Amino acid sequence: MSRTLILSIGSELRGDDGVGKAITARLRISNSLPTGVEIVDCGTGDLSTILMRPDIKKVIIVDAANMGLLPGEWRRILVNDNISEILSEGDRENSHGLGIIQTIVLSKILGTLPEEIVIFGIQPQNIEYHRGLSSPVISTVTEVCKAIHFELELTQTEEDPVPNYLFAQFKLTESHI
């Protein structure tokens, strides 16, 4: 049976960088996730093996993303539509473990890339070392959860994916702050 994987990435010790975990924690207790959906909180661990599973058809990544937007604003980003752009960026290796961009590039090269990867990026306000989310980011958690539920319903009914919000093209990189 093909499965959908929801991944949260980030450190809950760095303020709004913990928004991914906050969202997947909310999804986990919602009791309304379809069967075949698995949630993994990746924290700040190495991600190199996460896309190696052959049973995974779709991956939803929830992460803080610096998009030049107002804190708390979020975007849905289809990775597969922009894979060539990501491939050109993915060789910038500047971390200890492999981040999500490098993992996507690596799994593309090794032929293990899932059919569909969607990123829900949330603009943070503050990622200095401290615990807790900022007010604008807290207030967006429910909205992103709703959007992910909608995404999962579409996956279940095998309808066409919803289009990207607002932007068709983008450049995706990863920094280590």
Partner 1 sequence: MAESRTKDLDINIHYITRVEGHGNIVVNARNGILEQCDLEIIESPRFFEAMLRGQPFAQAPTLASRICGICAVAHSTTSHRAVEKALDVKLTQQTELLRRLNYHGEMLDSHVLHAYMLVAPDFLGVGSVIPLAKTAPDVVLRALRMKQLAGDICAAICGRHTHPVGMTIGGFSHFPEKEQLLQLKDRLQALSSDIDATVELFQGLNFPDFERDTEYIALWKEDEYCFIDGQIKSTDGGLWPIEEYRNITNEYQQQHSSAKHARNQRQSYMVGALARFNINFDQLHPKAKAAANALDIKPKCTNPYLNTAAQVVEVVHCVEDAIQIIDRLLDAGIRWEEPTTPQRYSGDGAGACEAPRGILFHDYSIKSGYITEANCIIPTGQNLANIEADMRSLVPVILNTSQEHISQQLEMLVRAYDPCISCSAHMLEVKFV
In whole angstroms, how close is the CB of 98 to partner 1 at the nearest point?
A: 7
Q: What is the distance between the alpha carbons of residues 50 and 166, in angstroms, rounded to a whole number? A: 29
User: 74-78 and 116-122 as β-strands: parallel, antiparallel, unpaired?
Assistant: antiparallel
Tokens encoding 45? 């661990």
- Closer CB to partner 1, 66 or 156, in the complex: 66
Q: What is the distance between the alpha carbons of residues 147 and 130, in angstroms, rounded to a whole number? A: 28
In whole angstroms, how close is the CB of 103 to partner 1 at the nearest point?
A: 10
Site for partner 1, rule CB under 8 A: 9-14, 17, 40-46, 48-49, 52, 63-68, 75, 77, 90-91, 93-102, 105-106, 109-110, 119, 121, 124, 127-131, 166-167, 169-177
- Closer CB to partner 1, 11 or 134, in the complex: 11
Q: Give Cα separations from 13 to 120, 126, 128 (angstroms).
A: 20, 11, 9
In whole angstroms, how close is the CB of 159 to partner 1 at the nearest point?
A: 26
Q: What is the distance between the alpha carbons of residues 61 and 21, in angstroms, rounded to a whole number? A: 11
CB distance 6 to 148 below 8 Å = yes
- Closer CB to partner 1, 32 or 40, in the complex: 40
In whole angstroms, how close is the CB of 14 to partner 1 at the nearest point?
A: 5
